[in-house]
Amino acid sequence: QVQLVESGGGLVQPGGSLRLSCAASGFIMDNYAMGWFRQAPGKEREGVSAISSDDSSTYYADSVKGRFTISRDNAKQTVYLQMNSLKPEDTAEYYCATAESTIAAMTQPDYWGQGTQVTVSS
């Protein structure tokens, strides 16, 4: 079955960096777009970034544009989210997701991971 396992979360100071990873299994990742979502306490889950199946297109929420970079390694069945210049408002549970289309990967994905916590605090 489809499994998405996130890792790389943790506690980081404002201005710091983290790289999240998502290991995919149970499907051929080459054929699917991948996305990242986040959910802060008391807030709705929001799409952060997405990448097309062929790595030709990427999308970012305005709140992370210029600070976050999504990438994928289809040979390793892994998608990454490099997060730089982190702010306290980036604190959230981060989820990996997948869908057939890139837009769906950032809005209504078919599958979710279990999440990894990112806390930005001094």
Q: What is the pLDDT of residues 54-63, one digit of tens each?
A: 999 999 999 9
Sign of CA dihedral 68, 109, 72, 55: negative
Q: What is the pLDDT of residues 4-29, one digit of tens each?
A: 999 999 999 999 999 999 999 999 99
Spatial distance between the Cα atoms of 55 and 58, rounded to a whole number of angstroms: 7
Q: Which residue has the tokens 């930005």?
A: 120
Q: Which residues of the chain have pLDDT under 50?
A: none
Residue-level pLDDT at 61: 97
